[in-house]
Amino acid sequence: MSERLAVGIDIGGTKVAGGLVAEDGTVVARARRDTPHRSKSPGVVENTIVEVVSELLDLAEDPVVAVGIGAAGFVAADRATVVFAPHLSWRGEPLEANLQRRVPVPISVDNDANAAAWAEWRFGAAQGETHLMMITLGTGIGGALLFDGQVVRGKYGIAGEFGHMQVVPGGQRCECGNRGCWEQYASGNALVREARSLMTANSPVASDLLDRVEGDPMALTGPLITQAAQEGDPTATELLGEIGQWLGVGIANLAAAFDPGTFVVGGGVSAAGDLLLDPARITFRRHLTGRGYRPEAQIVAAQLGNEAGLIGAADLARRDA
C-alpha cells in the first residue's frame, strides 16, 4: 500500500524550508531556500516557495496528496489569504490562489505556529495534552492554541499572535507598527539586538562574542550566541537568561488568560534548551497569578525542532485533502 505523502512548507523571516512528510510525521526528503529580503515583491517569495515545492514533488516516490503552507503572518479564517506578515511584504496576499495556479496539488495555508502546535500535539512533546499553547521563538514570536484536538484560530483566523501583546508601553518599536510588543524582548531579534548593543559600546564583557565574529557586530547571529552560552561564555548565558525571563513573564500572562496544561516552546531560539527555559520557568512561577494555590502548566521544549512547522503544515493539509 502506497504512502499518502504531503509537502510541508515553513516560511519564516529568513528561510523557506520544505519537507516531504509521511503519515507518521517522518520527514523523508528536505529542501530549503533563503527567504528573499522583505523589500522584494511578494511574487519573489512565491517563486521561492514554488521552487521548493517543485523540488520535493520531483523527489516523491509515492503520491503527494496535498501541500501545506505554514506562513509567518496573520492568516485569514479562509486559510487562503495572508492578511499581514510583519517580516515579509505580504498585505492581503491571496497566497493559496497564487500558488495553486502554479502547483498541481491541493494547497492549504495556515499560520506557521498553528502548524507547529499541531505537529507537537500529533507527533511530539504534547501528545495526549487536551489544552496546549505553543510559543515559537524565531525572528519574532509566534503562538498557537490547540484545545481538545482543534486549532483555535479565532473568528478572523488571527488568534495566537502572542508576540504582539504589548508588555512595555512605549517600549521598543516593533515591525508590526506598535511599540513594546513581547517579541521585542523575548525573540531571536531581541537576543541579537542586545548582544550587538554591548559589542558596539565596546563593552569588555562582549569580548568573546566580538572574537567569534572577528570584530564585526553585524555578523553576530542568534545561533552563535547560543553556541557561546553552551560553551560557557557568561555574557551569552546572561543574554539568554534575560530573554528567558521575558519569556516567563509573557507565559504567565497567557496562563492567566487561557489556563492551558502545557506550554511548548519551539523555534530556533529554543535550541538553547534549559539556558533559556530554566529562567523562563522561574520567572513564570514568580509572576503567575494565584501562584501556590493553583495547578501550574508545564513548560517544555518542542521535540520536533525547526521542522515542527513544516511537519504540521503537511499533516493539516493531508487531513483536509
pLDDT tens string for the chain (321 positions)? 568 999 999 987 678 999 999 999 999 999 999 876 654 577 888 999 999 999 999 999 999 999 999 998 899 998 999 998 876 778 999 999 999 999 999 999 999 999 999 999 999 999 999 999 999 998 889 899 999 999 999 999 999 989 999 999 999 999 888 999 999 999 999 999 999 999 999 899 999 999 999 999 999 999 999 999 999 999 999 999 999 999 999 999 999 999 999 999 998 899 999 999 999 999 999 999 998 899 999 999 999 988 999 999 999 999 988
Q: 150-151 and 262-266: which strand pairing?
A: unpaired
Grid cell at residue 261:
496544561
Q: How confident is the model at residue 321, as a pLDDT?
A: 82
Q: Which CATH superfamily is domain 5-119+307-320 in?
A: ATPase, nucleotide binding domain (3.30.420.40)
Say if 5-119+307-320 and 127-302 have the same CATH topology: yes
Secondary structure (3-state) at 200 = helix
Grid cell at residue 180:
513594546
Q: Give the DSSP H or E segment for 146.
A: strand 141-147
Phi-psi region of 144 (alpha: psi -120 to 50; beta: other; left: phi over 0): beta
Q: How confident is the model at residue 44, as a pLDDT?
A: 84
pTM above 0.85, yes or no: yes
Q: Which residues pair with 142 in a beta bridge?
A: 136
Cβ partners under 8 Å of residue 313, min gap 6: 8, 9, 10, 68, 69, 70, 110, 112, 115
Distance of CA 15 to CAs 5, 21, 150, 186, 210, Å? 23, 18, 28, 20, 26
Q: Which residues pair with 174 in a beta bridge?
A: none
Q: How confident is the model at residue 85, as a pLDDT?
A: 82
Grid cell at residue 316:
493539516
Grid cell at residue 229:
552560552
Q: Concatenate the DSSP letters of all residues of 50-97 into one string.
A: HHHHHHHHHH-SS-EEEEEEEESSEE-TTSS-EEE-TTSS-EEE-HHH
Q: Concatenate the DSSP letters of all residues of 128-194 into one string.
A: T-SEEEEEEESSSEEEEEEETTEE---TTS-TT-GGGSBSSTT-SB-TTS-BSBGGGTSSHHHHHHH
Gap between the Cα atoms of 34 and 217, Å rounded:
21
Identify the architecture of domain 127-302 in CATH: 2-Layer Sandwich (3.30)
Q: How confident is the model at residue 285, as a pLDDT?
A: 96
Name the residue ranges covered by the structural domains of the chain. 5-119+307-320, 127-302
Grid cell at residue 217:
557586530
Q: How confident is the model at residue 37, as a pLDDT?
A: 61
Gap between the Cα atoms of 26 and 66, Å rounded:
16
Gap between the Cα atoms of 17 and 270, Å rounded:
18
C-alpha count within 13 angstroms, C-beta hemisphere, residue 202: 0
